[in-house]
Chain A
């Protein structure tokens, strides 16, 4: 969709996913790295060839690579030439570009259509503007980490590097929003994307609850707390886990209890009038007794069996897939979500998450590899 666009990405942890998204949409993305390569090539588990790290490869699939030593006038000139023809520049928040005479005013004077997307941990010009940050510390500050994990253990970040991912997607939204404005005004602009605010925006509920009720949320493990009691969300089966909860949806609860009764396992759940029971008001002891019967019954079933029954009877249960099961699932295969990443240089031939969505305007294809290290 964006094959007419030229994007220059200066190596930076926060911008890599923005470039990856624009490349996936067809843009020609060139990643500019310093001599010796982006230091992030060495962060995280290495690939089977012992070279670049797998996370670095993941965020840079589909880009072209260019090594420039911006300490030399010749290479600064090459970058300036590239930016004279580019549509979008993705850069970090330091004043490095300005100090090299490549600040926004200069670049814009030479190429008025250029869109400069700055992706930085914090807001421009504030007290934290130059403060060091990492994915972990941004997740901590966002309010999300406070809610993840067990009540009696330290708070946890989400899997992967989600503060960076969220900032990267917001970077793509910023670039494409500015592209829309450019179509009308003929001019590019500079947009500053703040990773901290992007992460705060993702954690939508807790600041709001404080604003309106003065209550502070707490980690509840896998319990979903509604009203006076908490209910379990995760259940062990004979071969893994499923998610289902004893919440106020009488149809779903009755359907589940009917299946248990057929196996003679409904126990204390059998005699309950679910149409006239408000689970949110049930005492915790009562919920625990009902859940003990559910726990015992779930352990006798496989998750595939439970998922099939749920689809058939509309019970709202989902199986919980491991990453390996998600890689092997027929659903994502049928939608062409996993593409082959064939990278002869690194000896990789693996499934890789490629399309952002399905569209009538896009055709499936294999992934071009991440750029090799130059010089």
Chain B
């Protein structure tokens, strides 16, 4: 079986999370993704913990390894004019160029979209940045949390009546690269139809607002007081996380239909739940604190996994609130091929996440992330056909570092 993206050529100048997560999607599906790196300006992902054996090593970061599966790595010093010439050869070769440099960096190298088009007329250029490449904020530098801050997501996150919340998890580094992947794939289809490339400009903020379209429409139509923070839902009760046996152990329960509610009443078999106050959704919403207290008293002595299983068997949506260990050891994820066992030259045997999809006619192949600059010769000489002696000279001169 072939990969769905076999033959797609990607020159990937992106780093950290917001670009590399997109090119991982492409590489695991068969695209040839060449990651252009620099030893002087290491991908911060390579410096990001956890590390193999706790030792800081650019080839030993587990974060980098899982974000860059199935790619190749070359090193080019873009501060050297001859390095820029090598980068131009990769741009001319590529179907798709991905970058998340600071504003103006590519222009200073004479590699604007217009200049790339002169090298490769139907090139697809994808840029990922905090606020996008246009508009009054286009110059701002930031990290994943800046996107949460500017999108309204942080203000909506957390408990009602509390300040905005920023969990230790940069959602802006997750959604934007998924939009970039959509953009690359749609642009490839567009190019097949029209012969034209394009420049796609992905902001990290806009995708976070896009996935909150329901909240923004509610806000615009009805005002902010109709927007609910926390775990509760307008049209479902019970709907929350309930305490279970052990420190910080919880089970999420959602009764979204009347039949789920009746099944919950039958399963919990608590006299308090038969109270007339809880007979209708309106009644449960009006008395939600009392309802939640009755349920919490019932759940608190139970194992979160067993409780979730029992409720699901009764037809109720339920799930244990899982921590990192629960997720890593979840039999459902292990059985369904979410983790792919690979052997990495530095990390050794390790589990890498696969794309969350299975094709009937195309292969997904998750391969180890590349060592820094491992593919210089294979890419420059064997793939691009550049003169081996010239490449050796560039290496000796520090241009390919």
Of the residues A138, A159, A311, contact of B153 by C-beta under 8 Å: A159
CB<8 Å pairs between A and B, sample of 22: A2-B190, A44-B235, A54-B214, A58-B214, A123-B332, A138-B319, A154-B243, A160-B156, A165-B175, A170-B178, A173-B178, A177-B357, A189-B361, A193-B356, A197-B333, A236-B163, A319-B150, A331-B205, A335-B203, A353-B209, A356-B182, A358-B134
Which residues of B from 187 to 233 have beta carbons under 8 Å from A?
A: 187-190, 192-193, 196, 198-203, 205-207, 209-222, 224, 226-227, 229-231, 233
A3 to B171, CA, bound (A): 31
Q: Is the CB of B213 within 8 A of A156?
A: no
Q: Is the CB of B142 within 8 A of A316?
A: yes
A243 to B169, CA, bound (A): 15
Select the stretch in A73-81, A94-102, A214-222 that faces chain B.
A214-222
Whether a CB of chain B sits under 8 angstroms from the CB of A6 is: no
A168 → chain B, closest Cβ, in Å? 8
Of the residues A54, A200, A218, A330, contact of B218 by C-beta under 8 Å: A54
Of residues A218, A234, A330, which shows the largest number of chain B Cβ atoms within 10 Å of its Cβ?
Answer: A234
- Chain A residues with CB under 8 Å of chain B are 1-2, 4, 17, 20-21, 25, 42-45, 47-48, 53-55, 57-59, 61, 104, 122-124, 126-128, 131-150, 153-162, 165-167, 169-170, 172-174, 176-181, 183-185, 187, 189-198, 200-213, 215-222, 224-225, 233-234, 236, 241-243, 311, 314, 316, 318-327, 329-332, 334-335, 337, 341, 348, 350-353, 355-361
Whether a CB of chain A sits under 8 angstroms from the CB of B293 is: no
Q: Is the CB of A54 within 8 A of B221?
A: yes
Of the residues B152, B207, B235, B325, contact of A325 by C-beta under 8 Å: B152
Of the residues A1, A179, A203, A352, contact of B216 by C-beta under 8 Å: A352
Which residues of B from 8 to 28 have beta carbons under 8 Å from A?
A: 8, 17, 21, 25
A58 and B163 contact, Cβ closer than 8 Å, known pairs A176-B185, A194-B357: no
Of the residues B206, B317, B324, contact of A337 by C-beta under 8 Å: B206
Q: Is the CB of A323 within 8 A of B216?
A: yes
Number of A-B residue pairs, CB cutoff 8 Å, is 476
Q: Is the CB of A220 within 8 A of B168?
A: yes
Of the residues A48, A156, A327, contact of B159 by C-beta under 8 Å: A156
Chain B binding surface, main DSSP class: mixed
Whether a CB of chain A sits under 8 angstroms from the CB of B83 is: no
Q: Is the CB of A323 within 8 A of B181?
A: no
Binary CB contact string for chain B from 320 to 344 against chain A (1 if under 8 A, 0 otherwise):
1111111110101101111000000
A168 to B131, CA, bound (A): 23
A243 to B166, CA, bound (A): 9
Q: Is the CB of A330 within 8 A of B135?
A: yes
A330 to B134, CA, bound (A): 11
Q: Is the CB of B199 within 8 A of A359?
A: yes
Q: Is the CB of A241 within 8 A of B163?
A: yes
Q: Is the CB of A159 within 8 A of B221?
A: no
Of residues B171, B222, B243, B315, which shows the largest number of chain A Cβ atoms within 10 Å of its Cβ?
Answer: B171
Of the residues A137, A194, A233, contact of B254 by C-beta under 8 Å: A137
Of residues A17, A141, A334, A350, which shows the largest number of chain B Cβ atoms within 10 Å of its Cβ?
Answer: A141
Of the residues A59, A157, A189, A234, contact of B360 by C-beta under 8 Å: A189
Whether a CB of chain A sits under 8 angstroms from the CB of B111 is: no
